[in-house]
């Protein structure tokens, strides 16, 4: 279990991301819905918005896989992204209408396609009933949106246009500006990539080699990728020392 304090001062608990999890997300990396559902299982603290979740996943990447991200065209330290999230503005807004109310805030779920105005609706109170809007399916969301007065829909659109840019993270890499849009489904592919440093063949090789010395395969599967790398380095070092010793005796 991992813990951290978010830039919003919220304390969060997360599951440890194991080498088995690296293999699992590698195998579902092309299915965005499956990736989003899989990643949501690692947030032990509920009610996190999309920026908070993203910050948490960067923390998981840092502690369980490593801080250096190597992509096809470039490599960089994960702190370069984290530094752009040191402040997360409080944008929550409550609008009252006809003895009802609507609460607007950051979206809570990563997008399968792209985010739209309705994703910024957190809850709606209609006739004294609180509706957790973000957890409704798209059909029910559309029905409720159609029920809202035109002036409220306009306010939702204004809120969306004003704050959508807060879901865009820019950082400089080798003189170029890299843009990560949390309102676009590419961010799901990005997360799947940085959290799957190995493929199935590499996973089997690690487990097979280390199981010669550490016979508890379940233990190895529950280790982080960083742990496995450390064990491999020790294994290689011990083998080299053993071979050198044999050579010196011969």
pTM of the complete model = 0.90
Helix (H) or strand (E) holding 244: helix 225-249
**Beta carbons within 8 Å of 25's beta carbon, 6+ residues apart:** 35, 38, 39, 192, 195, 196
d(CA 175, CA 197) in angstroms, rounded, equals 26
Q: What is the mean pLDDT of each run of 10 residues along the chain (250 residues)?
A: 89 96 96 96 94 96 92 82 88 92 94 91 90 87 88 93 93 79 93 93 88 82 92 80 67
Residue 69, pLDDT score: 86
Whether the CA torsion 31, 68, 76, 15 is positive or negative: it is: positive
CB atoms within 10 A of CB 26: 18
- 35 within 8 A of 188, measured Cβ to Cβ: yes
């Amino acid at each position: 279990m991992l813990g951290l304090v978010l830039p919003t001062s919220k304390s969060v608990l997360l599951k440890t991301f194991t080498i088995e999890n690296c293999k699992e997300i590698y195998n579902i990396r092309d299915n965005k819905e499956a990736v989003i559902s899989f990643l949501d299982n690692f947030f032990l603290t509920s009610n996190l918005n999309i920026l908070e979740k993203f910050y948490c996943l960067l923390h998981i990447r840092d502690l369980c896989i490593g801080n250096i991200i190597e992509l096809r065209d470039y490599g960089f330290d994960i702190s370069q992204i984290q530094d752009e999230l040191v402040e997360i503005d409080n944008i929550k807004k409550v609008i009252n209408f006809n003895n009802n109310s609507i609460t607007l805030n950051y979206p809570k779920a990563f997008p399968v396609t792209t985010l739209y105005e309705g994703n910024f609706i957190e809850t709606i109170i209609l006739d004294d009933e609180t509706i957790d809007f973000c957890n409704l399916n798209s059909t029910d969301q559309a029905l409720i949106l159609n029920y809202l007065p035109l002036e409220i829909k306009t306010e939702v659109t204004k809120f969306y246009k004003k704050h959508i840019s807060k879901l865009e993270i820019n950082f400089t890499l080798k003189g170029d500006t890299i843009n990560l849009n949390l309102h676009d489904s590419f961010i799901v592919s990005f997360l799947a990539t940085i959290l799957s440093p190995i493929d199935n063949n590499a996973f089997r090789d690690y487990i097979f080699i280390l199981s010669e010395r550490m016979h508890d395969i379940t233990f190895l599967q529950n280790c982080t990728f960083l742990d496995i790398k450390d064990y491999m380095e020790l294994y290689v070092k011990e083998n080299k020392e053993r071979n050198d010793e044999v050579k010196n005796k011969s």
